[in-house]
Amino acid sequence: MKRAGFTVVELLVVMTMAFLLMALAYPAVHFGIEEGRRIGCLSNLRQMVAAAYTYAANNGGRFPPGVAYEIDGRRSAIHAWDFSTVRDWDQGGQPQVRPGLLWEGAGDPRVQQCPSFRGTANWSGDPYTGYNYNVSYVGHGAGEAITQPIRPSQIRNPSTCALFGDGEWEGGANKFMRSPLPAPGDAHFSGRYSGTQGFRHRGMSNVAFADGRAESRRDRYTGPYENLPPNVGFLSEDNHLYDLD
């Protein structure tokens, strides 16, 4: 007589084998997902470098400032390099977030979202987040010791001058990349450690340099600061991956 179906023991054996196979496959699947996010992030950063050079070509040969302010009787705006927050008082003064200086007011803001970043923007109203911009040597901007951004020709070694990267400080992002040691443009800035990079791509941090190259770097430096969160740090112990030399 033919037996129909499986016994309870046989079903348990099959289920156990299925769970074991899933456990073995999970690391490979997780690696593939994270690798896809890392590559997507590098693509975003390359687009930012291209946009920075386009901005320079359209705006007197200088890179965009890190931030600029616009205030008059009817309108106020904070123009950051990635997003602008505009309030039109004739329209009730409600904040409207638009693509920022880097994008000259137009473009797809989703480029500003690192696929692996899950923290907050640390900046009111930003819908996307995860990246920062080298204001210590390149962007400068309002509130800095040097307010005028540099020209691309001032970068003597583009392959070692970071423009954009994975910005992160504790649970949130930061917009403004700071070198580990004081720089002429931000010599009076006291919260330098909050301009760090996030090492969130399987222990690596993505960065785009002025020569257009974007890469993942594993070496994390703490500079002169103690007790940095374990997932953030600087790209170099000194300023050589931030400065113009």
Query: 3-61: per-residue pLDDT in tens?
Result: 555 576 666 666 677 666 665 554 645 557 899 999 999 999 999 999 999 999 999 99
The 8-class DSSP code of residue 147 comes to -
Q: Compute CA distances 241 → 56, 194, 207, whole Å.
A: 21, 17, 10
Say if residue 2's pLDDT is above 60.
no
pLDDT value of residue 227? 85
- The domain spans of the chain are 10-61+108-233
Question: What sign results for the dihedral spanned by CA atoms 80, 216, 107, 59?
Answer: positive
Give the pair of three-digit tokens for residue 239: 């300023």
The one-letter code for the residue type at 239 is N
Among the ranges given (4-18, 48-62, 120-134, 225-239), the one the predictor scored with the smallest mean pLDDT: 4-18
206 phi and psi angles, rounded to 5 deg: -90, 140
Strands (E) located in 59-204:
67-71, 75-80, 83-88, 95-99, 131-134, 162-166, 176-177, 197-198
Q: List strands edge to edge, sheet with 131-134.
A: 176-177, 131-134, 162-166, 205-209, 214-217
* Stated pTM of the model: 0.86
Percent of the chain clearing pLDDT 70 (strictly above) = 87
Residue 91: predicted pLDDT: 73
